[in-house]
Structure 1
Amino acid sequence: MNTLHNFAFNVYPYLCLAVFFMGSLARFDRDQYTWKSDSSQLLRKGQLRWGSNLFHGGILFLFFGHLFGQLTPHWLYELFVTAPQKQLLAVVAGGVAGLLCFIGLSLLLHRRLFDDRIRLTSHRTDIAILLILWVQLAIGLSTLPSSLHHVSEPTTMLRLAEYLQGIVLMQPNAALVAGIEWHFQAHMLLGMTIFLLFPFSRLVHVWSGFGTLAYLVRPYQMVRARRLNVPVNQGLPRRGS
């Protein structure tokens, strides 16, 4: 069990990140025609507007919340808020965003599974990745009661943040995760697995979403009208001439 734990939290994260980056680059280079979101809007719009907006809004909030919340050093955010205040903010804001995202994803999953036309045109990987995301959100929501209980003494949050920062700094320490409740560990492992599956699913279109930010800084595109090389005193030829 010790060896398995060390592999899961010391080696597996880097394996997932390597596949995430190299696999995405290889797919963009070799299979650009598959680089798309595979939207089913043309088949049926019902549930899509609510489901898509709730899911995308919630998942973006959760992504950036996890990114900055866990990777920001303790000494930096302590200038503004204490660790208990930060955890309470994460529980409330993350709980609301997670619940909205879970409702939106449930709507999207329902229409893919129970609409015959959408189910027949969906790839197995489409349904599989939606199910994995649904389970990941469910596990994440299940951690909220424990997080709320630990607000007064947020040692679990601090240990998880230190572990994730160690992964980024190439100093993994699986001992920081040992002894933490199972749903926190399952949430982290499944999150790593999503990065592993990312290049082989429709999730690659997320790269394109972040890529559109380049339009904010790129120079203006010059468009000039095309003129016909026809003398001023000579009209265009008439039909039939």
Structure 2
Amino acid sequence: MKAWLDTLLFGIYPYLCLAIFLLGSLLRFDRDQYSWKSDSSQLLRSGQLKWGSNLFHAGILFLFFGHTVGMLTPHVVYEPFMTAGAKQLLAMVSGGAFGVLGIIGLTLLLHRRLADARIRATSRTSDIVLLVLLWLQFALGLATVPLSAQHLDGSMMLVLAEWAQRIVTFRGGAAELMAEVGPVFRAHMFLGMTIFLIFPFTRLVHVWSGFGTLAYVVRPYQVVRARRLNVPAGQNLPRQPGASV
């Protein structure tokens, strides 16, 4: 029964989440572009939003790229200059620090959305559910830090990284790797995949627009030339209807 559950949660569920994440985002952009926005409530109350949003974004952006690079980089790439234990210690310190920033920001954002009557009235259920799930994900991530401190050899980090690499490269045996992983790590991984699953149905889709702005770095300059009209000498241009002098 446990082997079947591991296969379902960590062998099949990841591909279901990734498929819905990619196809759902594409379909929403194609069919419902007017909902493709962050739905900011800054006009209703900006003070608490400034601190909460900045702390949250600093934490989640660092952790997103840190997890992406850390888990998807093969061990042989960094092995010549960094041991698995040193990499795990680096991840614990930096991830713990930015995790604290992120959960503080999320706490401010969640309190603001629930405590302010006007913001609560304009909030969708998905807005509140998303904040709660993100808060739980940060809390689970911070809970893994003291657990990781009990084995500083980097063995658990190598197992989780190997699982992620097998998933993205479509190699078999990924679910078997999670059989001996602790419940906190398993819950952290499962909730992370679930956030990808609900991504296209929430305001998180605006993250794609953030990555899309990077295209402006390589986009060529737009050439704008003034339009010249050939008007005979002594003849005035016709006035537009309603134009004032």
Q: Give the TM-score normalised by structure 2.
A: 0.93
User: CA separation of 1:235/1:36 partners in 2, compared to 1, >3 Å: closer, same or farther?
Assistant: same
Secondary structure of the 2:46 match is coil
Q: Please list the CA deviations of residues 152-207 of structure 1 after superposition, one character each: whole Å capped at 9, or x if unmatched.
A: x2211111111111101111421211121110000000001001100111100010
Cα shift at 1:82: 0.9
The amino acid across from 1:169 in the alignment is T
Show structure 1 runs of 4+ deviating over 6 A: 236-241
Q: Deviations 1:117-147 (Å, cap 9, x if unpaired)?
A: 1110111101111110011111110100011
| 1:142 aligned partner | 143
The equivalent residue for 2:171 is 171
Matched residue, 2:39: 38
Distance 1:51 1:229 in 2: 58
Pairing 1:1-241 to 2, within 5 Å after superposition: 1-151=2-152, 153-172=153-172, 173-227=174-228, 230-231=231-232, 233-234=234-235
Q: Give the RMSD, CA atoms, in angstroms.
A: 1.8
State the secondary structure of the residue aligned to 1:149.
Answer: coil
SS of residue matched to 1:39: coil
CA positional deviation for 1:2? 2.2
Shift of 1:223: 2.0
User: Comparing 220-229 with 162-171, which one deviates more in the overlay?
Assistant: 220-229
Listed as ranges, the gaps of 5+ residues in structure 2 are none
Q: 1:69 & 1:240 partners in 2: Cα distance?
A: 64
Letter in 2 for 1:49: K
Query: Once the 2 structures are TM-superposed, how far is the Cα of residue 230 of structure 1 from its aligned partner?
Result: 4.7
1:80 Cα offset (Å): 2.0
Aligned residues: 240
Identity of aligned residues (%): 65
Alignment gaps of 5+ in structure 1? none
* Contact in 1 for aligned 2:87/2:154 (Cα 8 Å): no
Separation in 2, partners of 1:109, 1:236: 59
TM-score (normalised: structure 1): 0.94
Pair 1:227–1:12, CA change in 2 (3 A): same
